[in-house]
Amino acid sequence: MTIRPTNSPATNFSVALLEEFVRLGVRDIVLSPGSRSQAIALAAAEFEKHGLLRLRVRIDERVGAFLALGLAVETQSPVLVVTTSGTAVANLHPAVLEAHHSAVPLIIISADRPDSLRGIGSNQTTQQPGIFGTAVHQTWDVEAPTGAAGEMDAAAQLARDAVAAVNGPVHLNLSFDEPLSAPFVWHPTENEVAPEPAAHREPVFPDLFSDLDPVVENTTHQSPGAPTTLALSPSPATVVVAGTGAGPRAEQVARELGAPLIAEVSSGAHFGPNLVVAYRELLNTANFGDRVARVIVFGHPTLSREIPALIQRRGVETVVVRHPSADDYNPGRCVRLFVDEVSVSGEAADRAWLGRWVTTSRQLLETESIAPDIDADAGTHAKSELAIVRTPVDRRMLAEAVWRATWPHDRLVLGASRLIREVDRVVPGKKISVHANRGLAGIDGTISTGLGIALASQAEKGNEGVTRVLLGDLAIFHDVGALMFGAGEPRPRIQVIVGNDGGGTIFDVLEVASQAGESFDRVLLTQQNASIEALAAAYGWRYVFAATRGELDQALSAHPEPTIIEVPLARQ
């Protein structure tokens, strides 16, 4: 299709920019309303009508940015985020930071005043170029288009440059002058074939999450930034650690080495025969943790103190396999060997080392069975079953129930709270899609991220899965704006499961709980009394209260409506 130029250079430039993004395979755009960005917003709406883009609109820029983060995580493709000028841009910063530290591809497009209106106190005008500092990989400050020859080509080149640089967030700051927009008309060209819908086009940008090609074998030490592959041989006293972003490669290497696999629940490697769930206990147990001599790390471990303590222990050799995050994982700056990949040669000779870890971990996780006695009389059997379904929910039961209800076609998003650590402590291996914003491990944007993951995963034909977001009460209050669906916005199949224990009880398990005195509850626990049920009603979500095991299992059944499930938990 071709577009007749309008009397608005802002519109012409915006259309050319989006056209090139579409040609490069960008599918998703999230925008928040604003006057200065209206040309891009109106163009995006037209592109959506023609099946060229999937457009999401959110009034809160922070919500929109985390929604885009979720879309990008699920699709593993760049997502456009569009805002107007001023504080709107600053509201993107938390999601930009998370994307930077997790290497999630976001293309931030902020509208701005032209040079003539900067630095003179103009309304909604601030220093937008550089506002994200080092959290973006590149920033372009683009002068306002005037209609001069070559501007459309410049817009297309800008899109190509942005996609080429997006191994994390990048920032396009676009100045626009009056007239800020104008209507435009699509004109089909001769012999034109209708564009393929956005959901089914193949991108032409490179695989942003592919492994680097190995170029050096048997490397003992390389300076940071040099692509390397290290050849490993199986040896006793080795463990493989997988943090967020590790992916299934960590599980494969653990099997090839015959080594215990310590895989955090959000690592993408929490499965397989080598998985050791009770790793915290074993790392602190004689003849287990104290026998470890070599640690192979994938991803970014964040869910325990035991892992960094192990790496910092004298006599432990650590190999960190880099992934595209902002910083190399290096507790205590004790890691001396960073590589881009590892290869394994040779057969694992000592299976006893692995067997002891796996067997003991399983024994530690066993608890007394609450299953009814099958030999009991009918009356006793019925009472026993009734007692089970009436059992009040605790954190472990909640973690296990959500894990049990989630299948490979579903998605699970874990917020930063005590609950992700509880899930990490107790759930068995299962190859399902689990996500958590662990780049900076903030509680902000958890529901928004989950909604982005839900929308992206359910956009594909035949996907009947549900996205479950498990988080604490403070996290839902922090991201309340995510619950709002604007008119015409799709509502995915999603369950937001809130473990309500009356505030930030994660601080109860830290040293500060015994040191803060009477100020603890006010400044750390920060208990809130807002009604989650009333919030659900206000934003049009289905609400379920689940206090017992029976109620929880029933509540976790898939439902087409967006649902909030509130689960009361004891503080301790």
The pLDDT tens digits of the residues spanning 485-519 come to 999 999 999 999 999 988 777 777 777 767 777 77
Pairing relation of β-strands 2-3 and 186-187?
antiparallel
**214 domain residue, yes or no:** no
Provide the 8-state DSSP code for 1. Answer: -
**221 domain residue, yes or no:** no
- Whether the per-residue pLDDT at 196 is higher than 90: the answer is no
More confident residue, 126 or 230: 230
pLDDT at 217: 30
Assigned token pair, 99: 């994307």
Q: What span, in angstroms and rounded, lies between the C-alpha atoms of 428 and 516?
A: 36
Reported as a pLDDT band with limits 50, 70 and 90, residue 376 is low
Whether residue 414 is found in the same domain as residue 552: yes
pLDDT at 374: 56
Range with lowest mean pLDDT among 48-62, 110-124, 155-169, 189-203? 189-203
User: Averaged over 374-391, what is the pLDDT?
Assistant: 67
Average pLDDT, the chain: 88
Per-residue pLDDT tens over the stretch 91-115: 999 999 999 999 999 999 999 988 8
**Total structural domains within the chain:** 3
- My answer on whether omega of the bond before 179 falls inside 30° of 0, hence cis, is yes
Whether residue 513 is found in the same domain as residue 398: yes
**120 domain residue, yes or no:** yes
Whether residue 421 is found in the same domain as residue 329: no
Cβ 65 vs Cβ 71: under 8 Å: no
Whether residue 425 is found in the same domain as residue 560: yes
Q: Can you give the residue range of the structural domain that contains 428?
A: 379-568
> Rounded to an integer, what is the distance from CA 34 to the centroid of its chain?
27
Whether residue 309 is found in the same domain as residue 416: no
Buried b (16+ CB within 10 A) or exposed e, 370-384: eebeeeeeeeeeeee
User: Averaged over 293-301, what is the pLDDT?
Assistant: 96
> Among 312, 335, 365, where does a domain finish?
365
**223 domain residue, yes or no:** no
297 class by beta-carbon count within 10 Å (0-12 exposed, 13-18 middle, 19+ buried): buried
Range with lowest mean pLDDT among 100-109, 186-195, 247-256, 295-304? 186-195
What is the Cα Rg of the chain in Å?
26
- Whether the per-residue pLDDT at 193 is higher than 60: the answer is no
pLDDT at 210: 36
Whether residue 392 is found in the same domain as residue 253: no
**310 domain residue, yes or no:** yes
User: Averaged over 134-140, what is the pLDDT?
Assistant: 95
Whether residue 345 is found in the same domain as residue 418: no
Range with lowest mean pLDDT among 53-67, 122-136, 159-173, 421-435? 122-136
> Among 312, 338, 365, where does a domain finish?
365
Under DSSP, is residue 30 helix (H, G, I), strand (E, B) or coil?
strand
Whether residue 439 is found in the same domain as residue 498: yes
Q: What span, in angstroms and rounded, lies between the C-alpha atoms of 312 and 184?
A: 62
> Among 365, 392, 424, where does a domain finish?
365
Give the CATH number of the domain where residue 328 resides.
Answer: 3.40.50.1220
Whether residue 11 is found in the same domain as residue 140: yes
Q: What span, in angstroms and rounded, lies between the C-alpha atoms of 29 and 45?
A: 10
**546 domain residue, yes or no:** yes
Sequential DSSP letters for 346-363? S----HHHHHHHHHHHHH
**222 domain residue, yes or no:** no
Per-residue pLDDT tens over the stretch 556-567: 998 899 999 999
pLDDT at 473: 93
Per-residue pLDDT tens over the stretch 204-236: 444 433 332 322 233 333 344 556 999 999 988
* Residue from 255, 268, 270 nearest 299 by CA: 268
Cβ 249 vs Cβ 232: under 8 Å: no
* Residue from 327, 326, 276 nearest 304 by CA: 276
Give the CATH number of the domain where residue 388 resides.
Answer: 3.40.50.970
Whether residue 516 is found in the same domain as residue 388: yes
Q: Best-predicted range by mean pLDDT among 178-187, 238-247, 343-352?
A: 238-247
Reported as a pLDDT band with limits 50, 70 and 90, residue 188 is low
pLDDT at 192: 47
Prediction pTM value: 0.89
**217 domain residue, yes or no:** no
* Residue from 487, 466, 492, 483 nearest 543 by CA: 483
User: Averaged over 369-377, what is the pLDDT?
Assistant: 56
Per-residue pLDDT tens over the stretch 240-264: 999 999 999 999 999 999 999 999 9
Whether residue 540 is found in the same domain as residue 484: yes
Per-residue pLDDT tens over the stretch 261-282: 999 999 999 999 999 999 999 9
Element (H, E) at 128: none
- 388 contacts: CB under 8 Å, gap ≥ 6: 370, 371, 372, 549, 550
Whether residue 237 is found in the same domain as residue 175: no
